[in-house]
Structure 1
C-alpha cells in the first residue's frame, strides 16, 4: 500500500518540525563550537544526540511509512555518535575528528537508504543529497586528518545537520502538497 493511502500525508507537520530541529541543532554545531576547544565536542555531541532523539521520536509517529527503518537508523546513528562524542570531550582533536567522520558516514548511508526507500515521494532526492553531503563531509575530515582546527569537525557536522533539516522540510512540503492533490 502506498504511504499516502495509509494517511501519512497528514503527518507533514512532524517532518517539518524535525527539519526545523535539525536546522537549529546544525546551526548550534556551526556557531557554538568556535567558542572553545572543550565546547566543540561537548556541544557537537549534545546537538547530535538531541537531533537523533527528535528523529527517533518523529519516526515512531510514522511507523507505517516506507522509510521508517531507514529514518530510525539515521536517528540511532546520531544519538549513539552524539553520546560517544559528548562523553569523551577531551580525547583530542584527532579522535574527535575521526569519530565525527564515522558518525557522518553512518548518518549519510542511512539517509541514502532512506532516500531510496521512499524514492517515489516528493523530496526523496533532497534526502539523498543530504546523505551524499554527509559522506562527502566525512571524506573531507579524513582527507585533512589530523585536523588543525578542533572546531572544524563540529562546524562540518553542523552543515550536515542543516542539509538534513532542509531535506526534511522539503519532504514536509511534498507531503502537504500530496494532501491537496486528488488520488490518482
Structure 2
C-alpha cells in the first residue's frame, strides 16, 4: 500500500470519527433540552467540583510557598474557592439559583453596556446591529431574572448547554461530510 493511499484511508476513517462525535454531541444536546434541569444541575456540580479542586490546589500552593509575600492573600483565595465549592456541592439547587441569577445580571449589564456602545458609535454603519444585540441581551437578562420568582429560569443553563451541544455536533457532522480532503496532521 502506498503512503498516499494509506493517508487517504486514514482521512476517511477520520471523517467517520467527526461524524460520530457530531452524532453523540447532538444526542447529548437533545438530552439536555429534554431534561434541562438535570443538565443545569450537572453543570452546577461541575462548577462546584472545579471550585473545590481549585481551592485545594491553591491551599497546597500557599503552604508550599509560605515565605512568599502573597501567602496571606492566597490563603484567603483558597478559602473562597473551598467555601464556594462546598456550598455548591452541599446545596446544588442553591448553586443553580446563584449561577442563574449571576447569568441574568450579566446579560442585563452586558445588554445595557452594548446599547450604550451602540449609541457611542452611532455614525458607523453597523451601530444598529450592536444596538439590537444589546437589546436582545438586555431582554434575555430581564427574562432570566424575572423567571427566578417562579423557578422557570432554573433550567436556563441546561437549555444553553443543550443548544450549544447541538450546534457543536452539527458542525462536526458538517466537517466530516465536507467534500474536500481532510488536512493531513501537521507534524512540525
Please report the TM-score for the alignment, with normalisation by the length of structure 2. 0.39
Please report the TM-score for the alignment, with normalisation by the length of structure 1. 0.40
Per chain length, whose mean CA-contact separation is higher, i.e. which structure has more relative contact order (CA < 8 Å, sep 6+)?
A: 2
